[in-house]
Structure 1
Amino acid sequence: MWRHLVAYALLLALGTALLQWLDYRWMVRSHSTGFYLFLVAAGFLALGMVIGMRVLAPRTRPPFDGNPAAVESLGISTRELAVLRELAAGRSNREIADALRISPNTVKTHVARLYEKLGASRRTDAVARARELGIVV
């Protein structure tokens, strides 16, 4: 009984596989142009995606170091550098004082010294000069 059942199942599976194979061959023969165009289009799509991912991938920047050589040559202190970064972020003296936990008068002193060291007369000039030197982003 089991042998007959297994043999019958194998014959049905073989027949189904043969019909599928014949159907596939008929489909490829009757629609060969469309089938080949599909394969070429799929190949170009894959190639375009690979090239696009390599060309348009975001580039990693080297870590920003703040140009320590320029900072040292200008004689900018650590606290003045912190004030300069806050200036570059567009903060007011009061906001800088609150962020660094110093008095607004100390911020004014640091800003005045930064003007002298960077050769600037305004905040925007100081920030622009610091960006040129690579001290701030």
Structure 2
Amino acid sequence: MKRHVLIFGLVGGLLIATLQYTEYRFVIIEHSVEIYSALVAILFATFGIWLGLRITRSRETIRETVVVKEVLVPTESPADAPARFIANAAFAPNTAQQQTLGITARELEILTLVAGGFSNREIATQLFISENTVKTHCARAFDKLGAARRTQAVQRSKELGLLP
């Protein structure tokens, strides 16, 4: 009986050792590419997280620096607009060109303020209309003038005698 136990123990030990070796061989040797790929992926993910945190921290620092060093430049409020852009008594717009192009009085008024360098928000505040209404008037006036940008619209308006 002791002999059988000893033989079964030795055979069991050999089988366990064989299984351990084949498992090692199967996992380590045959799947080494997958293991290395997983390790490289973990390494890059860790590096990416670290780099992302470092970049975000530096952006917050830059934002804080910019806010601390911000210089406020006084601008003209719409109420203090120069008279040359709002009401120029010496200049009369070419009404024939205005009617030919189909530019309304409101669009011409907005073009005058655009030529004065006002933003859409400032124009809206001054004329007591919404910013979207200003954008709509600008877009229609730009289409009628064949302009793609504000500067082109102002230049074209001056060429046609609509603006001083």
Q: TM-score, normalised by structure 2?
A: 0.45
User: Percentage identity across aligned positions?
Assistant: 55
Return the alpha-carbon distance in structure 1 between the equivalents of residues 123 and 150 of structure 2. 13
Q: Which of 67, 72, 93 does residue 94 from structure 2 map onto?
A: 67
Q: List runs of 5+ in structure 2 lacking aligned partners.
A: 1-88
Matching residue of 1:90: 117
Alignment of 1:1-137 (within 5 A): 63-137=90-164
**Take 2:118 and 2:90, find their aligned partners in 1: how far apart are those partners?**
24
Once the 2 structures are TM-superposed, how far is the Cα of residue 86 of structure 1 from its aligned partner?
0.4
Quote the offset at 1:63 in angstroms. Answer: 3.5
1:63-87 deviations in Å (ceiling 9; x for gaps): 3211011101000111111101101
Calculate the aligned-residue CA RMSD, in Å: 1.3
Structure 1: 5+ residue stretches without partners: 1-61
Question: What letter is aligned with 1:135?
Answer: L
Q: In structure 1, what residue type is equivalent to 2:147?
A: A
Show structure 1 runs of 4+ deviating over 6 A.
Answer: none
Find the counterpart in structure 1 of residue 47 from structure 2: none
**Structure 1 counterpart of 2:72:** none
Partner of 2:163, secondary structure, is: coil
Structure 1 counterpart SS, 2:109 = helix
C-alpha distance in structure 1 between counterparts of 2:155 and 2:147, whole Å: 9
CA distance in 2, matches of 1:95, 1:136: 19
TM-score (norm 1): 0.54
